[in-house]
Chain A
C-alpha cells in the first residue's frame, strides 16, 4: 500500500502500547495496575509511534506509508490481503466474495456486503448510512478528478472504459461530472458493480485492495469540500478520535462497525499456529483504541519501547546491534518476553536524479555522463554497514525480492566505481577549477543539491552524499525539508537529487516500474523522467502477465534507467519489528500498512510493569 517510505530505515514503523496499563486519561478514565476489582474493564489501548508526520486523511490525496497505515483502519477497500497467507493473497473486504472475472480479465463483477454502515458523522444527521455500489463508483471517480491531483491516479488511469474520457472532459470544463454514467462502472443493483476495463488487467484486484481505495460517502466529501483531509468518515473498524497535527493521533472503535470474526488460517510459518490459537473466533477489533505518537527520532522510539510505553517498535537499522545478535534477538530481551518478527521488505531505496533539472537534467552525453558518475560514486556497501548496521540488502533491480518480476541476479551498470566516475567526468570536460572543485564544461560552477529530511539519520545521508561528491570533487549543497514538503516538491519536479524509497502497494513488478513512466510525472515519477523509448517499452509490459516475456522487457527498462543515469537502486531493507510480551496475534504484513484490528493485547493484570 503505501507507497513512499519516509526515509530509509525507520520506514515502517509503528508502535506501541502498554497493555492497557496507561490509558488516555481523558478517554479512558482512571485505571490503575493494582485496581483489578474495578467493575469497568480498562480499555485496551495499543500505543504506537510513527517516524514521520501524517499528511491528512483523505485517501485520494495521500501517498505515504504512515498515513496509509491509519487510513487502512479508517476506511475499507473492496478487497484486501489475507493477514497470514504468504505469499500474500487477495481476499474480500467490503466485497462479499472475490469478484467474478470474465472476458480475460476485462470484466470484474463485485458484490458488496450488505449492512455495512459508515461511521457516525454530523453530515448523516443521525441516520445510519449504508454503503452501496454508488459509493464505490464515486470513490473510483475521485481518483480521476483533475482537481484532486491524486498521487494514486495511476491505479485507474487508462483502465476503465469511459472514465478517462470523463476526466478529459473535466479538464476542459473545470468541472468533474460525478453524476455521469460511465460505461465501465455499471451499477447493476444496490450491492453489485460491474467494472469494464479497456484491456486485460489481472492486477486490477490489487488496485482495489489499496488503502487509498477505501470507500467514502459523497455527501461527506461534498460537505467538507476543501477540508476533506481532516474529516475521514469510513467504514473501517476505527475512527479518528483525536488529532493533534504532526504530533498525536488517537483512533477509537467505530461504533457502526459490522460484526466480523477473526478467521484467518495458519500458513507454513510455525508462529501462525499460536496466532490462530489466540485469536480464532474473536470479534474484530479487540483493541479499543490505537494511540499514535509522531516520534521522528529513532532513539526516542527505542527508549519508549524499552520503558514499555510503545507496544510495537519498527527497529531502525542503527539500533539493530542493541537488540539483535545477527538475526536473533539478544538473550536479555528474549528473557523479558519481547518478541521479534523479521522479514525482507518488498521495498527498494533508490537514488533518483531529476531529469528536468537545469543543471543535472538533459540527454546530452555530458549530462548523462555526469549523472552516471554521481550514481557510481555512491557506496551502498558502506551505507548498509554503517548506517543500517547490516540490516539491509544490496539491491540492483527495481523490483525487490518477494514481488512478481524480481531478479536478484541482475548486474548493475552503476556499481560503486569512483575511479571510473572521475575518468568519465575528466573526459566529458568537467575540469577542476583553482579551488579543486569541478566546473561544468562551459566553465560555470557545478553544485549538486541533495535533499533530505531533518532527523539525525538524514544527517548521515548528507554525510554519505558529501563523501560521494568529494570523491568526484563536486560541490555539495544540502536542502533540508520536512517529509511532507519533500513529497510536494517531488510532485512539482523541484527535487534535484534524492535517495527515495518505495514499498510495494501490491506484490507485482508493475508497481515499481510505474515509478519512471513519463505520464506519471507530477504523481509518482519523482525523477520526472519522460523518455518516449522507455515509455513505449513500459506500455508493452502492461498487456503481459508475469512471465519471461514481461521480464525481458523489464530488464530493458531497468537497464535504460541506468544507461540514461536516471536512477540507481540502492538497498532493500530488512524489517525487524519488536513487540512487547503482552501483544497478541501480531504478525507484520509485507503489503498491508497496518494490521491493528487483527491484534489483541493481554489484559493489564498479566502485563509486566
Chain B
C-alpha cells in the first residue's frame, strides 16, 4: 500500500473513486485487474493449492510417511487392478541364530552377550514383515513407497527449492542491480563484469561446476546453487530500472530535500520497480523448479532421504522401460500443472502490475 507511483496512480485519479475516500494504491489496483482476469485467478488458485499442500506436507500433516513401504514392488494404481504376472517376491529367510553357527574353533568376543540376549525374556528375534497392499491409488515404486505420498512430498521439496532459491536470486539480483544502476561508474563496471562472466558460461554447466565444488548434497545446497547462479536476469532488469529512475524528477526532488542515497535507492526508487521484482520472482520460481528437476534427474539433486519431482523422474527413467509408468505420470503431471499455472499467473501479475504493457 505504501507505494506511490506517479505513473500508475494517474489512471485511477482520472477515474474518481466512488466508495473509497482516497485514491486506490498500486496494490489495490493490481488486485482489481487480477480479479478481472479469469485465467489469472484460476492459476492463482492452483498455485495456492500447491503451496498449501506443500506447507501441510512440510509440517507433516499430509503424507508424512512417504518413505514407509506400504505396497508391494511396483504395485499398480488401484484402478488397474492387481497384475497377476508380477512375481511375488519372497521375503527374507528367517536368520540363523549366531549361537548355533559353527565357529570352526574360533572365539567370538560377543558370544557371552549373544547368549544373554538369547535367554532374555521378551526379546523377539523373529522377522515380521508388515502385510503390503497389492494396489495403491497411484501405484507404488520399486520399494513399495506410495507414489501419491511421494508426489505430494516431492512437490513440497520442489516448491521449497523453487521459492527459496527464487527469493535468494531476486534479492541478490535486486541489490546488485540497484547498486550498479544507481551508482554507475566503477561500481557498475564491477557488477557488469561479474554478470558478464557468469552469463558467458552455459547455465547448466555453471550449475554443475558449482555443484561439484560444493560437493555436498542437500536441499539447502540446491537452493544455494540455484540462487547464486540465477540472479543475473534480475540484475540486468533492475540495473536498467535504476538507471532510468535515478534521474527522474521525484528522485532528484528527494535528493534536493536531503534524502540520503540509501533512502533514495530503497525507499523511493525500489517501490517503483516492485512490479519488475514480483514478475521476476515468479518467473524464477518456475525456472528453478525445472532446474531442480533437471539437477535431480542428473543425480546432483536432493539427497537419498528426500524426495522431489526430479528424483522421481530420475527413478522413472528406468521404470518406464519396464512398463511401470505411474511414477513418471504422477510426477510429470503434478509438475506440468504447477509450472503452467505459475507461468500463467506470472503473465497475469505482469498485466496487473504494469498496465502499460497491456496495450
Asked if A319 is at the interface (CB within 8 A of a chain B CB), the reply is yes
A462 to B123, CA, bound (A): 30
**B92, A321: Cβ atoms closer than 8 Å:** no
> For A454, what are the chain B residues with a Cβ–Cβ distance below 8 Å?
299
**A459, B106: Cβ atoms closer than 8 Å:** no
**A556, B125: Cβ atoms closer than 8 Å:** no
A563 to B102, CA, bound (A): 12
Q: A319-B321, A419-B125, A456-B317 are in contact. Are A386 and B143 (CB under 8 A)?
A: yes
Asked if A128 is at the interface (CB within 8 A of a chain B CB), the reply is no
**B90, A424: Cβ atoms closer than 8 Å:** no
Q: A322-B321, A467-B143, A563-B109 are in contact. Are A420 and B95 (CB under 8 A)?
A: yes
Asked if A385 is at the interface (CB within 8 A of a chain B CB), the reply is yes
**A368, B95: Cβ atoms closer than 8 Å:** no
> For B314, what are the chain A residues with a Cβ–Cβ distance below 8 Å?
456, 459
Asked if A149 is at the interface (CB within 8 A of a chain B CB), the reply is no
Asked if A423 is at the interface (CB within 8 A of a chain B CB), the reply is yes
A379 to B69, CA, bound (A): 14
A559 to B107, CA, bound (A): 10
Asked if A398 is at the interface (CB within 8 A of a chain B CB), the reply is no
Asked if A369 is at the interface (CB within 8 A of a chain B CB), the reply is yes
Asked if A226 is at the interface (CB within 8 A of a chain B CB), the reply is no
Asked if A277 is at the interface (CB within 8 A of a chain B CB), the reply is no
Q: A419-B124, A419-B127, A466-B305 are in contact. Are A386 and B92 (CB under 8 A)?
A: no
Asked if B133 is at the interface (CB within 8 A of a chain A CB), the reply is no
The minimal Cβ–Cβ distance linking A561 to chain B, given in whole angstroms, is 11
A 387-402 to B, binary, CB cutoff 8 A, 1 in contact else 0: 0001000000000000
Q: A420-B117, A563-B108 are in contact. Are A413 and B98 (CB under 8 A)?
A: yes
The minimal Cβ–Cβ distance linking B139 to chain A, given in whole angstroms, is 15
B 97-114 to A, binary, CB cutoff 8 A, 1 in contact else 0: 010011111111110011
> For B67, what are the chain A residues with a Cβ–Cβ distance below 8 Å?
470
Interface residues of B in 112-151 (CB under 8 A from A): 113-114, 116-117, 120, 123-127, 142-143
* Contact with B92, one of A416, A423, A560, A563 (Cβ below 8 angstroms): A416
**A381, B93: Cβ atoms closer than 8 Å:** yes
Asked if B89 is at the interface (CB within 8 A of a chain A CB), the reply is yes
Task: Return the chain A residue nearest B124 by Cβ.
Answer: A419
> For B117, what are the chain A residues with a Cβ–Cβ distance below 8 Å?
420, 423-424, 427
The minimal Cβ–Cβ distance linking A390 to chain B, given in whole angstroms, is 8
Q: A381-B91, A386-B142, A476-B305 are in contact. Are A420 and B98 (CB under 8 A)?
A: yes
**B125, A459: Cβ atoms closer than 8 Å:** no
**B73, A385: Cβ atoms closer than 8 Å:** yes
> For A417, what are the chain B residues with a Cβ–Cβ distance below 8 Å?
95, 125, 127
The minimal Cβ–Cβ distance linking B171 to chain A, given in whole angstroms, is 30
The minimal Cβ–Cβ distance linking A213 to chain B, given in whole angstroms, is 34
Task: Return the chain B residue nearest A394 by Cβ.
Answer: B93
Asked if B322 is at the interface (CB within 8 A of a chain A CB), the reply is yes
Asked if A302 is at the interface (CB within 8 A of a chain B CB), the reply is yes
Task: Return the chain B residue nearest A480 by Cβ.
Answer: B217
Asked if A463 is at the interface (CB within 8 A of a chain B CB), the reply is yes
Q: A420-B117, A427-B117, A476-B305 are in contact. Are A379 and B92 (CB under 8 A)?
A: yes
> For B104, what are the chain A residues with a Cβ–Cβ distance below 8 Å?
552, 555-556, 559
Asked if A25 is at the interface (CB within 8 A of a chain B CB), the reply is no
A24 to B92, CA, bound (A): 49
> For A466, what are the chain B residues with a Cβ–Cβ distance below 8 Å?
304-305
**A424, B96: Cβ atoms closer than 8 Å:** no
* Contact with A463, one of B109, B110, B217, B304 (Cβ below 8 angstroms): B304
* Contact with B106, one of A368, A385, A424, A563 (Cβ below 8 angstroms): A563
> For A460, what are the chain B residues with a Cβ–Cβ distance below 8 Å?
142
> For B217, what are the chain A residues with a Cβ–Cβ distance below 8 Å?
478, 480
Q: A413-B98, A420-B98, A420-B117 are in contact. Are A368 and B110 (CB under 8 A)?
A: yes
A456 to B304, CA, bound (A): 11
Q: A321-B322, A379-B92, A456-B314 are in contact. Are A420 and B110 (CB under 8 A)?
A: no
A224 to B33, CA, bound (A): 74
Total CB contacts across the A-B interface at under 8 A:
118
B 4-34 to A, binary, CB cutoff 8 A, 1 in contact else 0: 0000000000000000000000000000000
**A411, B102: Cβ atoms closer than 8 Å:** yes
Asked if A415 is at the interface (CB within 8 A of a chain B CB), the reply is yes
The minimal Cβ–Cβ distance linking B125 to chain A, given in whole angstroms, is 5
> For A480, what are the chain B residues with a Cβ–Cβ distance below 8 Å?
217, 299
Interface centre among B107, B120, B123 (most CB of A within 10 A): B123
Asked if A412 is at the interface (CB within 8 A of a chain B CB), the reply is yes
Give the B interface residue count (CB, 8 A): 44
Task: Return the chain A residue nearest B108 by Cβ.
Answer: A563
Asked if A318 is at the interface (CB within 8 A of a chain B CB), the reply is yes
A321 to B314, CA, bound (A): 19
**A556, B106: Cβ atoms closer than 8 Å:** yes
Task: Return the chain B residue nearest A320 by Cβ.
Answer: B322
Asked if A148 is at the interface (CB within 8 A of a chain B CB), the reply is no
Q: A416-B95, A420-B98, A466-B305 are in contact. Are A559 and B113 (CB under 8 A)?
A: no
A591 to B142, CA, bound (A): 33
B 278-312 to A, binary, CB cutoff 8 A, 1 in contact else 0: 00000000000000000000010001110000000
A507 to B266, CA, bound (A): 76
Asked if B318 is at the interface (CB within 8 A of a chain A CB), the reply is yes
Asked if A382 is at the interface (CB within 8 A of a chain B CB), the reply is yes
Q: A417-B127, A556-B106 are in contact. Are A322 and B322 (CB under 8 A)?
A: yes
Asked if B315 is at the interface (CB within 8 A of a chain A CB), the reply is yes
Asked if A372 is at the interface (CB within 8 A of a chain B CB), the reply is yes
> For A372, what are the chain B residues with a Cβ–Cβ distance below 8 Å?
110
* Contact with B110, one of A369, A390, A455 (Cβ below 8 angstroms): A369
**A381, B90: Cβ atoms closer than 8 Å:** yes
* Contact with B318, one of A318, A376, A381, A390 (Cβ below 8 angstroms): A318
Interface residues of A in 297-322 (CB under 8 A from B): 298-299, 302, 318-319, 321-322
A427 to B110, CA, bound (A): 11
Asked if A365 is at the interface (CB within 8 A of a chain B CB), the reply is yes
**A381, B92: Cβ atoms closer than 8 Å:** yes
**B95, A427: Cβ atoms closer than 8 Å:** no
**A365, B110: Cβ atoms closer than 8 Å:** yes
> For A418, what are the chain B residues with a Cβ–Cβ distance below 8 Å?
127
**A476, B299: Cβ atoms closer than 8 Å:** no
A428 to B109, CA, bound (A): 12
* Contact with A299, one of B106, B110, B317 (Cβ below 8 angstroms): B317
> For A412, what are the chain B residues with a Cβ–Cβ distance below 8 Å?
96, 101
B 200-223 to A, binary, CB cutoff 8 A, 1 in contact else 0: 000000000000000001000000
A79 to B109, CA, bound (A): 45
A319 to B323, CA, bound (A): 11
A239 to B318, CA, bound (A): 36
> For B110, what are the chain A residues with a Cβ–Cβ distance below 8 Å?
365, 368-369, 372, 424, 563
* Contact with A563, one of B87, B103, B124, B127 (Cβ below 8 angstroms): B103
Interface centre among A318, A419, A476 (most CB of B within 10 A): A419
Q: Which 4 A-B pairs have the closest CB atoms?
A: A415-B95, A417-B95, A462-B304, A381-B92
17 A-B pairs in the complex with CB atoms less than 8 angstroms apart: A298-B318, A299-B318, A369-B110, A381-B92, A386-B142, A386-B143, A411-B102, A412-B96, A417-B125, A419-B124, A424-B113, A427-B117, A456-B315, A459-B315, A478-B304, A556-B105, A559-B106
Additional pairs, 4, CB under 8 Å, beyond known A467-B143, A480-B299: A365-B109, A412-B101, A424-B117, A560-B106
